[in-house]
Chain A
Amino acid sequence: MIKGVVAILWKDLRVEWRSRERLGPMVVFVFLIILVFNFSFELGGSALHEIGPGVLWSAFVFAGLFGLNHTFATELDNNCLDALMLAPVSHSSLYLAKMLGNLLFLLVVELLSLPFFCLFFNLSPGLYLVPLVAVLTLGASCLASVGTLFAAMSSNSRLREFLLPLLVLPMIYPALIWAVKATAIVFEHSRPSTTGAFWPGSLTEPVSFLLVYSIVFTTLALMLFDQVLED
């Protein structure tokens, strides 16, 4: 099982390394969306703590959808998906590999776009940002767990790219609520007055919710993925 997951994941990473079809456009996309919010809301400075986390997560979700669309769409050329299904790995390994791949791409995009988010919104970098890594990882894994399952379904639809957001967005709202909340808590700690604990106590609740969400949907997707691919 683990060998199969690693093999498929490695293949996807190599494809990405050679084609650079996903990461580059995703990072630019996040950048552009942050600017869209900036110009539509006149952000910067004071409003940051109120809607900054929301802006950040909206950008991640939209860029994530862009990346998720690629998950199985790339496998449709030359019937690669059929070949993958013939390969001696279980469908759950295929799901897990694709899900981890999406998680990895999302994380890289998040980490690459965070510096210019901090730059534009005058968020001084500091150690208080470290818990944000946990929030970003869990938020991304929520999006990847649900998104990978639905990407497999929408790649076979007449609407293709359009169906995926219709499926993913309503499903991801609970995770989005908590990810934004957790990010807001982390950003609040950037203010000089609130020095002290490295891990703000109020962060535990949203983070554990994100953990529950991603575990529930990864398990569920592992159970149901056979049904999606069966043909």
Chain B
Amino acid sequence: MSRLASTGLAFFVFSAMVAALYAVFLYAPTEGQMGLVQRIFYFHVSSAICSLVAFSLVFLASIQYLRRREERWDRLAVASAELGVIFALIVLITGPLWARPIWGVFWRWEPRLTFMLITFLMYVAYLMVRAYAAGSVEQTRRFAAVLGIVAFVNVPLVHFSVNLWSADQQLHPQKVELAPEMVVARYVSLVAVGSLFLFLLKRRMELELASQTLNRIRQELDGERGDDGP
């Protein structure tokens, strides 16, 4: 069943991606002022939404893990943290590509850029904690969960700070008026990127389950060998 669902989801992601490519590059009109490069917007915004959803999932899964101590919540946390970082990276790469011809610079210390960068770095630290922990597996999960909560609580503070810190140079538009075709393209690409996110999340959680199972079998084998020893 799970395998069938996976394959089904994969087909859906594929067709949604094709539909998104069509909508973004052929269906949506070229923006008057910015030209072709504006088409990066559809993937840029969708990825930003996905990364923030992923970080919220890390937060919820971390709370649940500390409350219930069930491995599945930890699997959800690690999978969403990795995906959140990847999607944030996509945002941070597509952003400057778009900014260079429009703003004239790759990077500006503008509120939203700064916010995304700091948030991205906090979750990179989260992955570092998981990667370089020295204690037991259980301890690593607890530490990660604590960080998953603390980092997410910090997100609104970062947002608030950088907004006021460089309020004089808001370059991101506060409100966007889009042509109807652009709205369609926007939602189609959101569905495509969102379903890609869900698909990768599912696969990453399955991978984590497999590696946890493998570790458990290894430990059991080591234990048996220990019993047989002198």
Chain A interface (Cβ < 8 Å from any Cβ of B):
146, 149, 153, 156-159, 163, 166-167, 169-171, 173-174, 177-178, 181, 209, 213, 216-217, 220-221, 224, 227-228, 230-231
Contact = CB atoms under 8 A, between A and B. Distances in A.
Interface secondary structure of A, over-half rule: helix
Contacts of B157: 174, 213, 216
B139 interface: yes
Given A167-B147, A227-B142, A228-B143, A178 B125 contact: no
A11 to B, nearest CB: 25
Contacts of B147: 153, 167
Contacts of A213: 157
A174 B160 contact: yes
Contacts of B121: 169-170
8 pairs of A and B residues whose beta carbons are closest in the complex:
A174-B161, A170-B121, A170-B122, A174-B157, A159-B132, A158-B134, A224-B146, A177-B161
9 contacts: A153-B143, A156-B143, A158-B134, A167-B147, A170-B125, A173-B118, A174-B157, A177-B165, A228-B143
Contact of B125 (A149, A167, A228): A167
Contact of A227 (B128, B145, B160): B145
Contacts of A170: 118, 121-122, 124-125
Contact of A157 (B122, B134, B145, B146): B134
Interface stretch (B15-23, B70-78, B148-156, B198-206): B148-156
A157 B129 contact: yes
A217 B139 contact: no
Contacts of B161: 173-174, 177-178, 209
B28 interface: no
Given A158-B133, A159-B132, A216 B142 contact: no
Given A159-B132, A224-B66, 6 more contacts: A177-B162, A209-B160, A213-B157, A224-B150, A227-B142, A227-B146
Contacts of A177: 161-162, 165
Contact of A173 (B139, B153, B158): B158
A41 to B, nearest CB: 18
Contacts of B158: 173-174
Given A163-B128, A174-B157, A228-B142, A156 B150 contact: no
B165 A220 contact: no
A157 B154 CA distance: 23
A227 B146 CA distance: 7
Contacts of B149: 220, 224
B128 A171 contact: no
A158 to B, nearest CB: 5
Interface secondary structure of B, over-half rule: helix
B135 interface: yes
A167 B123 CA distance: 9
Contact of A220 (B66, B122, B129, B150): B150
A171 B151 contact: yes
Interface in B37-78: 66
Contacts of A228: 142-143, 146
A157 B165 contact: no
B124 to A, nearest CB: 8
Which among A170, A209, A217 has the greatest number of chain B C-beta atoms within 10 A?
Answer: A170
Contacts of A153: 129, 143, 146-147
A34 B54 CA distance: 40
B125 A166 contact: yes
A48 B179 CA distance: 50
Nearest to A176: B161
A174 B154 contact: yes
B153 A216 contact: yes
Contacts of B132: 157-159, 163
Given A149-B146, A167-B147, A216-B153, A231 B133 contact: no
Interface string B69-112: 00000000000000000000000000000000000000000000
